[in-house]
Amino acid sequence: MKPVTHVRPAVPGDIPRILEIEREAEAAAHFSEADYQRALASDNTEAEVRRIVLVAGTPELVQGFLVARFLQEEWEIENVAVTKGARRLGFGARLVETFLQLSICSTKRIENSGAEAAAVFLEVRESNLAARRLYEKFGFTIAGSRTAYYRNPEEDAILYRYSFQ
């Protein structure tokens, strides 16, 4: 039986758990505590880069997170990670689903002009088949690749695109 998954905006108190999950996830992008603090503060209309940071878990424990940034008319998912013990339980899917729902509303609020995002982009390790299947399940399509994009180990990235049109 899958646990009930709650998704909510991250708060500063979530940063230690986010860092713990990130360190455990080999394929995750690795940010500093200061990076996450800036990301959480980016909801401010004066921030240069706008971000959505979500956490998912049970009411007792955060099990995963997602970080995305808004650049002009596009979103980029920068990081998605779920703790090893909670993988394949729906946390990643709920994070992506919630992000896709929020991104349109957030884009309108950010731009304050009614403009909508045209697409969401992300890069994923070529070998990360579980993540690739998850994104494809939500309608992301392959838009290209980046040779030797990742390090430790070196690996190509597959570029995915999700269109709101």
C-alpha 142/C-alpha 151 separation (Å) is 21
Other CB atoms closer than 10 Å to residue 10's CB: what's the count?
22
C-alpha 70/C-alpha 52 separation (Å) is 8
pLDDT at residue 151 above 90?
no
Q: What pLDDT, on the 0 to 100 scale, is given for residue 1? A: 52
pLDDT at residue 133 above 90?
yes
pLDDT at residue 2 above 80?
no
pLDDT at residue 113 above 50?
no
Domains and CATH numbers, the chain: 6-118 (3.40.630.30)
The better pLDDT of the pair 131, 73 is held by 131
- The single-letter code of the amino acid at 47 is A
Q: Is the pTM of this model over 0.85?
A: yes
